[in-house]
Amino acid sequence: MKRNCIKSGLFCIVGMLLAACCSVPSEEPAELLPAPAELQQKLIQQHAMTIARTQTDFPKVLKGGPGFTKETAWKILIKERAAVSFEYLVLGRLGLGERQMQALVEENGRYYDMHIIDVEHEGKHYSVEQWFDITPYFKAM
């Protein structure tokens, strides 16, 4: 009985410490505006060298791009778990901004990982999508 009380006490202390150091913001995050087409074109131009280098550095693993739409999604050609690493490699190389959300999208037998990125432009925050076609990896699971 004493051992259970000690465990419960430790659980309460750990809970209070976590609550104190890991506070959750009480305000809702600001909703991001969808990026206008001209901003997407500007990002493609700004990142053209990085996009081209990424396309040529990994020819057996990665095709397509620049990934701002489902139609121009980065195609990840490998079936291993490393497929996910290539998504983050591309996102890191582009350095667009902070990733806000990720979703798995299935359409017509194709599987996409879609990331929404918070991009700051002229003092405003916009949402920009980055799409990855992960069909080979997803079908191999």
The pLDDT score that the predictor gives to residue 86 is 84
Domain housing 129: 33-140
Q: Tell whether the model's pLDDT for residue 125 goes beyond 50.
A: yes
pTM attached to this predicted model: 0.69
Instruction: Give the mean pLDDT of 17-42.
Output: 60
Q: How many CA atoms lie within 13 A of 57 on its CB side?
A: 10
β strands within 7-109, DSSP E: 33-34, 62-64, 74-76, 98-107
Task: Answer whether residue 3 is part of any domain.
Answer: no
Instruction: Give the mean pLDDT of 55-66.
Output: 83
3-class DSSP state for residue 84? helix
Task: Answer whether residue 123 is part of any domain.
Answer: yes
Number of domains in the chain: 1
Spell out the residues 6+ positions from residue 12 whose beta carbon is closer than 8 angstroms to its own: none
Per-residue pLDDT reduced to its tens digit, 105-114: 999 999 999 9
Instruction: Give the mean pLDDT of 18-34.
Output: 51
Going by the DSSP 8-state scheme, the letter that residue 67 receives in this structure is: -
Task: Answer whether residue 71 is part of any domain.
Answer: yes
Of the pLDDT bands very low, low, confident and very high (cuts 50, 70, 90), residue 2 is very low
Of the pLDDT bands very low, low, confident and very high (cuts 50, 70, 90), residue 26 is very low
Q: Taking the CB of residue 63, how many other CB atoms lie within 10 A of it? A: 14
3-class DSSP state for residue 105? strand
